[in-house]
Amino acid sequence: MNILLDAISWFCLVAGGLFCVVGAVGMLRMPDFYTRLHAASVIETLGGGLIMLGLLLQAGVTLVAVKLLIVALLVFFASPTATHALAKAAMERGVRPLLATPEDEPSKH
């Protein structure tokens, strides 16, 4: 059972790390504020959540696990709220999303 728990934990840690790397590349490649904001929220919520889950499985039933759970809940609730607040503030300041122009769309021939 211990080997299975370690395998699941390491899978979560590696998957979380991969999501963080892919999200970071996405942040560099995305063209405007709103798409970069989306990539950042994916990094924090999915990548960080999987890493927290992997660490939680490694910690077992200890005080460290309780602290990790509290931090994970804080991130789970605060990240979408902060992302929404940033997007709303940007919209109110006049930051417009980059939309596709007719030249960017593929031809329908």
pLDDT at residue 101, rounded to an integer: 66
Q: Where do the H-state alpha helices sit in 30-62?
A: 33-42, 48-59
Taking alpha carbons only, the member of 26, 87, 13 closest to residue 53 is 13
Q: What percent of the chain has pLDDT over 90?
A: 34
When pLDDT is averaged across residues 44-54 and rounded to a whole number, the result is: 89
Q: What's the pTM value of the predicted model, to 2 decimals?
A: 0.77
pLDDT score at 107: 58
Residues 33 and 23: their CA atoms lie apart, in Å, by 14
Domain boundaries, the chain: 2-93
